[in-house]
Amino acid sequence: MHPRRFLPTGPLRGRIRVPGDKSISHRAIMLSALAVGESRISGLLEGEDVLATAAAMRAMGAQVERTGEGAWAVHGVGVGSLLQPEQALEMGNSGTSTRLLMGLIASHPIQATFTGDASLSKRPMGRVIEPLSQMGAEVNASTGGKLPLILRGAAPAVPISYRLPVASAQVKSAVLLAGLNTPGVTTVIEPVPTRDHSERMLRGFGAEVSVDIEPDGTRVISVTGHAELRPQVIEVPGDPSSAAFFLVAGLVVPGSDLVVENVGLNPTRAGLVEVLRAMGGSIDEVARREVGGEPVADLRVRHSALSGIEVDPALAPSMIDEFPALFVAAALAQGTTITTGLDELRVKESDRLSVMATALQAAGARLEELEDGLVIHGSAGEPLRGTQGAIATHLDHRIAMSMAVAGLASRTGVEVDDTRPIATSFPAFETMLAQLATEEPAV
């Protein structure tokens, strides 16, 4: 265990750049490995999950090399030309790598074994196995559709039209990636919109992708097979989920005025910015631009008097990972914030509703826990009391970082029981917080 007490601070000032977006980093490596020629990627998130994707593409014939910090060069093999890996593809803890790579391999005439760590091996892959089996892939999984599993691709695979029974960007992406090497048109029907990084990047690499929106909001996404992908130069935008902690910190620490550079503002991911603005948060977009089909801006954040609101449950999918940070903002707002429709938070790295409720109450916040959300009664800008003992983060990095931010806006600080999970997802987090803190607060 690595406990640490995050103490109150003076105003947060300065400029920071958060790590690259994980979802986009995975897809950049995969699609570069399927393009013929050399792609260059900058701003790649070099966490263990993305490195698992890089190792897998290398095992299937692509040249994937690191050329500097966040800078990578990839020589691709071309759609249809993946080689059979000689050893099992070790996925670590990365569900994204597993599900997307299963899709890629499903339409190639090769066989691959997928293995993962203890945590990933508990997660069922049935949602991906179902559509890929319809396309002709053969999957032998462990009991319950879990890892380790062996996938034998089909050549030629069969194009399908698949309606997602549960909203999932990973399942959607797996089917679209399988469609790249499948003759004809492969279609995914999405009743609830999910993050659309795959569609944007597939288009950017030259695949033929169409997105039609029906009157009821259903999205019909099609990809034409035997695509020829062209190499690209990709700058990965900053991860909005990592930026979230600094946006909230800037809003709740008095006197703060900071800039978070190069933040991805994809509308399927930027719900938190919308909600914080609705609460009265001052978040200005500076130098808005488009990079690789993704909207990006520098965000200037200033300390603001926040007001409680009722958060529209329809926004939940676009900010599902940011709710722990939002709960901290709500605890310091004027009035009550109501969140509902968050059942999914109970099955993340921890039960984020109950863990955040317990942690915030320990720090002096007033709230009630609902079955599918929290009702938080804010302190009207008064600092939270702070914690006496350490709060349990249940090895969940987002809980640890959210409560670190709560500590900055408390009287006596907030002690987090273990900061190690932060290092796996955002190693520079504590350094960046320290860099922004100006001076000790006047007592």
Predicted local confidence at residue 23, as pLDDT? 92
Q: What angle do CA 396, 194, 344 make, to 5 degrees?
A: 40
pLDDT band at residue 108 under the 50/70/90 scheme: very high
For 190-223, the pLDDT digits (tens) are 988 888 999 999 999 999 999 999 999 899 999 9
Predicted local confidence at residue 320, as pLDDT? 87
> What average pLDDT does the structure give for the chain?
94
Going by their DSSP bridges, the two strands 414-416 and 63-68 should be labelled as unpaired
Question: What are 79's two structure tokens?
Answer: 């759609």
For 284-299, the pLDDT digits (tens) are 999 999 877 789 999 9
For 223-249, the pLDDT digits (tens) are 999 999 999 999 999 999 999 999 999
**Dihedral, CA of residue 321, residue 322, residue 327 and residue 329, to nearest 10:** 170
Respond yes or no: is residue 321 known to be catalytic: yes
Mean pLDDT computed over 368-377: 96
Q: Which one, of 352, 246, 328, lies nearest residue 279 by Cα?
A: 328
Q: How many CB atoms lie within 10 A of CB 13?
A: 16
Q: How far is CA 158 from CA 10, 106, 134, 140, 439, in A?
A: 60, 10, 8, 19, 63
Alpha carbon distance 147, 115 (integer Å) = 6
Question: What are 220's two structure tokens?
Answer: 């019909």
Contact between residue 189 and residue 216 where contact means Cβ atoms under 8 Å apart: no
pLDDT band at residue 439 under the 50/70/90 scheme: low
Alpha carbon distance 281, 379 (integer Å) = 16
For 43-73, the pLDDT digits (tens) are 999 988 999 999 999 999 999 999 999 999 9
Mean pLDDT computed over 306-310: 98
pLDDT band at residue 440 under the 50/70/90 scheme: low
For 409-424, the pLDDT digits (tens) are 999 999 999 999 887 6
Residues 6 or more apart whose CB falls under 8 angstroms from that of 395 comprise 349, 350, 418, 420, 421
Predicted local confidence at residue 312, as pLDDT? 94
415 beta partners: 5, 390
Mean pLDDT computed over 91-105: 95
Q: Please state the residue numbers annotated as binding site for 3-phosphoshikimate.
A: 22-23, 27, 168, 170, 321, 348
Q: What angle do CA 224, 153, 227 make, to 5 degrees?
A: 20
For 258-269, the pLDDT digits (tens) are 999 999 999 988
Q: Please state the residue numbers annotated as binding site.
A: 22-23, 27, 95, 123, 168, 170, 321, 348, 352, 398
Domains of the chain with bracketed CATH? 4-20+237-436 (3.65.10.10), 22-235 (3.65.10.10)
Please say if the pLDDT value at position 1 is more than 90.
no
Alpha carbon distance 308, 11 (integer Å) = 23
Contact between residue 23 and residue 14 where contact means Cβ atoms under 8 Å apart: no
Backbone dihedral angles phi then psi of residue 269, each to the nearest 5 degrees:
-130, -10
Q: Please state the residue numbers annotated as binding site for phosphoenolpyruvate.
A: 22, 95, 123, 170, 352, 398
Which helix (H) or strand (E) is 362 found in, with range?
helix 352-362
Instruction: Name which of 48-57, 168-177, 316-325 the model is least confident about.
Output: 316-325
Contact between residue 300 and residue 284 where contact means Cβ atoms under 8 Å apart: yes
The DSSP line for 174-187 is HHHHHHTTSSSEEE
pTM to 2 decimal places: 0.83
Please say if the pLDDT value at position 360 is more than 90.
yes
Please pick, among 21, 239, 298, 321, the residue that the annotation labels catalytic: 321
